[in-house]
Amino acid sequence: MPFAIALLVVGIELSPMHFIYTGPLLTATPALAAVTMGPTGTLAAAAFALAISVTTATYNQAWGTQQVYTNFLAVLVVSVASFTLSRAVQTRRQSELDQIRRIAMAAQDVLLRPVPARLGPVRTASMYLAAEAGAQIGGDLYEAVQTRYGVRMIVGDVRGKGLPAVRSAAAVLGAFREAAHYEDDLAEVMNHCTAALRRESAVVEGVDQAEEGDQVEDFVTALVAQVPDRHVVQVVNRGHPPPLVLRHGEVQELLPASPLPPLGLEGLSSGVLPKTESYPFAPGDRLLLHTDGVIEARNPDHEFFALPEAMKALHTFSPPKFLEQLHQGLVRHTQGRLADDAAMILVERLGEEANETRRRS
């Protein structure tokens, strides 16, 4: 708009209609730019307006008249004021953005804290990739804790994005962190997560119904896993992508025997209760828990990311380097444009020698 007005002034001043007084229009150009275009745009619009003022005065041979100097001075004063105001607004907005980012980082440290490098009989690593530019947290969740029952982990994906997804993720994670330490049955840990999501959804539904009259239906795909002292991994899967085990350079999916719906969609389960399933997990094996943002990442040709093949190529790397290489592979595959958040936890089962050393220390 500012440049369109400036061009309109040029058209009038270089035409037989140049007797029309265009000073107010030209003066408004930097002021409008300050509202919509920031300091750089304001500076460009001001320079353009001043150049037009000089050009039209020269073309119309109007130098020496009071009107020309008045217009030129008005444009100059408004330009300086507009640029100063635009810089002040930009500085304030940047300060507010920095504060929001600091709050987001603090929230991430509480909600999605990195897992320790060593938990009991396993080495671990975690990674969270937000699809939204500038985002720190989203609808994916993960956690790993050491308990008297073994190392327990959760990974999940909340339907939707934004603050409602973050609230649901926080509810599920809070329930897991509490129940993981006192429920001996892994399925009961999952049931606590289900109850927490139901309570959170009831609160959100009540607020939304009061405001809009609509019903809210949230659900979370979730998977909890446990690595006890014996050489197995126990899993309860509620509609989540199955974890992958990397063993001797080969990858195996841990598919559930009885698939169950996600948390929040218990009405689709036909009365089937969650149960814990066990799979071999020997020293040297690696377990990857992940969200669908990893396996559903597509390249420009709409081809999915080949996660098993990528894992096979990285079997010699340490857990943190393993996930970092997976991250780089995802970035290359999608050309830096993730369509969904992605969370990963990698767990490596240690041998008895390493466990014995840990117990002695």
| 108 belongs to a structural domain | no
279 pairs with which residues across the strands?
233
| 24 belongs to a structural domain | yes
Per-residue pLDDT tens, the chain, 361 aa: give them.
Answer: 766 666 666 666 555 555 555 556 667 677 777 777 778 877 777 777 777 777 766 666 556 566 666 776 777 777 788 888 888 888 888 888 777 767 666 666 667 788 899 999 999 999 988 766 555 566 789 999 999 999 999 999 988 666 777 888 889 999 999 999 999 999 999 999 999 998 887 776 655 544 454 444 578 999 999 999 999 999 999 999 999 999 999 999 999 988 889 998 877 766 677 889 999 999 999 999 999 989 999 998 889 999 999 999 998 899 999 999 999 999 899 888 877 888 999 999 998 765 555 555 5
Q: What is the pLDDT of residue 110?
A: 67
Residue 27 corresponds to which tokens in the numbers above? 């003066």
Question: Which of 46, 78, 102 is a domain's end point?
Answer: 102
Same domain for 180 and 64, yes or no, is: no
| 276 belongs to a structural domain | yes
* Tokens 């020698």, located at residue: 353
Q: What is the pLDDT of residue 162?
A: 67
Same domain for 81 and 224, yes or no, is: no
Same domain for 65 and 135, yes or no, is: no
Question: Which of 102, 136, 161 is a domain's end point?
Answer: 102
| 271 belongs to a structural domain | yes
Same domain for 147 and 263, yes or no, is: yes
- Give buried/exposed letters for 78-105 (b at 16+ CB in 10 A, else e): bbeebbebbeeeeeeeeeeeeeeeeebe
Same domain for 192 and 88, yes or no, is: no
| 319 belongs to a structural domain | yes
158 pairs with which residues across the strands?
220
| 299 belongs to a structural domain | yes
| 322 belongs to a structural domain | yes
Q: C-alpha distances in angstroms, 9 versus 16, 131, 144, 214?
A: 13, 45, 66, 52
| 282 belongs to a structural domain | yes
Question: Which of 47, 74, 102 is a domain's end point?
Answer: 102
Q: C-alpha distances in angstroms, 15 versus 9, 19, 56, 145, 325?
A: 10, 9, 10, 78, 65
What is the domain count for the chain? 2
Domain that holds residue 254: 114-360
Same domain for 29 and 176, yes or no, is: no
Same domain for 93 and 121, yes or no, is: no
Task: Enumerate the H helices of 213-349 as residue ranges.
Answer: 292-295, 307-313, 319-334
Same domain for 94 and 123, yes or no, is: no
